[in-house]
Amino acid sequence: MHAFIETTLRTAFPGAEMRVTDTTGGGDHFEVEIAAPQFAGHSMIQQHRMVYDALGDRVGVEIHALALKTRVLAN
């Protein structure tokens, strides 16, 4: 699942800097820190929604917990 998260978010947010951490070692609880230029002009809630939308239906099913830290990455 780690690879899915990283690949999906790199595709959705080209140029982003990110770190994906499996917080429990079980492959279903993750922390994602992502800085992306696509977040410019969006509130933190909107940024988080953009990440959840990119990951789709796997959140809440295969990804049981997802802690997010987002910020704008200046070009």
The domain ranges of the chain are 2-72
Sign of CA dihedral 48, 12, 41, 18: positive
What are the start-end ranges of the H helices in 1-75?
2-12, 44-55
CATH no. of 2-72: 3.30.300.90
pLDDT given at position 36? 98
The pTM of this model reads 0.95
* Per-residue pLDDT tens digits for 61-72: 999 999 999 999
Residue 41 identity (one-letter amino acid): G
* Per-residue pLDDT tens digits for 22-51: 999 999 999 999 999 999 999 999 999 999
